[in-house]
Amino acid sequence: MDQLKTTNGTGEATAAIRAGDESAFAALAERHRGELLVHCYRMLGSFDDAEDALQDTLLRAWRYRESLKDGAPLRPWLYRVATNTCLDAIARDPRRSALARTANEAGGSRRLGPAEVTWLQPFPDHLLEAAARRESEPEALVLTQESIALAFLTVIQLLTPQQRAALILRDVLGWSAKEAADLLGTSVAAANSALQRARATLRAHLPSRKPEWPPGVEASVAERELLRKYVDAAERQDLAALESLIREDAVFRMPPEPSITTGRDAILRLWADGGFGSERFGRVRCATTRANRQPAVAYYVLRNGGTAYRALTLVVLRIEDGRIAEVVNFVPEVFEAFGLPPTLESATRTTEPS
């Protein structure tokens, strides 16, 4: 039995659910709500769409509760419903279905890349902590940085839906080949083939795994210091200070815009061309948070003549060897999920990195 085969879905509980006991279903489904949200997020790459898919999953599960076999555990059944819900959502979305068709074309004329994933959104760390169960529980959900980082989330969106589901079920959730094949309605050989293709795509597209910090460096202390310097430079709009914190080969993305800027000099030039560092840009305040197990900084701007700092952007930072290797820039609509206010009073002080 794999890690999803647990005893929490006892025969008594599943019988009650099949009989229409809504309170029994709600109590057991609530136990898995957080991890199902993470699963939907991995499948879809968008926090908002994952929340919608989760609600649809629970509605479907209740509607088709009789498909839960007597004595079967609830958790793998819910994952089955959630996966199929996400596959349906991908098929309905013109952006995702078009990308899936391109990914499925053998010898396609163009190479897919991160710019294609215009729907990417960050996932708040405080919800990841809620989703990960206590280590004492046998079904503890493992949420490593590698399996939830934005780079990983972006690349798996470039897979066909079947490949993505196979990869998540096998390599992230630990399902067996037969379980994954049964869920996907295919043979074990076909499921294994999809997994191998998915792994090959990851090897081709994922950034090489470099350590975040040099050997012997205390990671938490070093990250706090890097964030302190970054926030200070950002609030002063000091491009020279930011330059010292960013790798020469850094990458800048800003979904839903498809463009990607590569190279520190090009990134700084882009920011300067946008007015950052000039009087017309306004004043900046920052608040720190975390997304996808990575440090993140929320920018607020006080425009000339304004009375409050307004949400501008949330940036998620990837660190390599003590410097910033990637900056992913998100629209202010994501602030609510992080519990960040839409405005700051003009006297508000910067939030210190925690």
Q: What's the fold here for domain 219-345?
A: Nuclear Transport Factor 2; Chain: A, (3.10.450)
Find out whether the peptide bond into 256 is cis, omega within 30 degrees of 0: yes
Q: d(Cα 67, Cα 65) in Å, to the nearest integer?
A: 5
| The two structure tokens encoding residue 224 | 């706090």
| The two structure tokens encoding residue 162 | 């079947």
pLDDT of residue 345: 84
pLDDT of residue 44: 97
pLDDT of residue 210: 80
pLDDT of residue 3: 38
pLDDT of residue 30: 86
DSSP state of 160: -
Helix (H) or strand (E) holding 167: helix 161-167
Tell me the one-letter amino acid at 251.
Answer: V
Residues of the chain falling short of pLDDT 50: 1-9, 106-110, 134-138, 352-354
Q: What are the boundaries of each domain within the chain?
A: 11-205, 219-345
What are the distances in angstroms from CA 347 to CA 283, 304, 350?
12, 15, 10
CB 119 within 8 A of CB 147: no
What are the distances in angstroms from CA 125 to CA 34, 128, 293, 294, 313?
12, 5, 6, 8, 17
Q: d(Cα 29, Cα 329) in Å, to the nearest integer?
A: 34
The answer to whether the pTM exceeds 0.75 is yes
The strand pairing partners of 318, in sequence order, are: 326
pLDDT digits (tens, 9 = 90+) for 15-48: 778 778 888 888 888 888 999 999 999 999 999 9
| The two structure tokens encoding residue 340 | 């960040």
pLDDT of residue 107: 42
Which residues fall within 8 angstroms of residue 137, CB to CB, at 6 or more apart? none
Could you tell me the maximum CA-CA distance found in the chain, to the nearest angstrom?
68
Total residue length of the chain: 354
**Which candidate, 157, 141, 123, 151, places its Cα nearest to that of 44?**
157
What are the distances in angstroms from CA 146 to CA 31, 212, 260, 344?
24, 12, 22, 33
Beta-sheet pairing, 343-345 with 308-320 = antiparallel
**Which candidate, 308, 156, 327, places its Cα nearest to that of 234?**
327
pLDDT of residue 24: 81
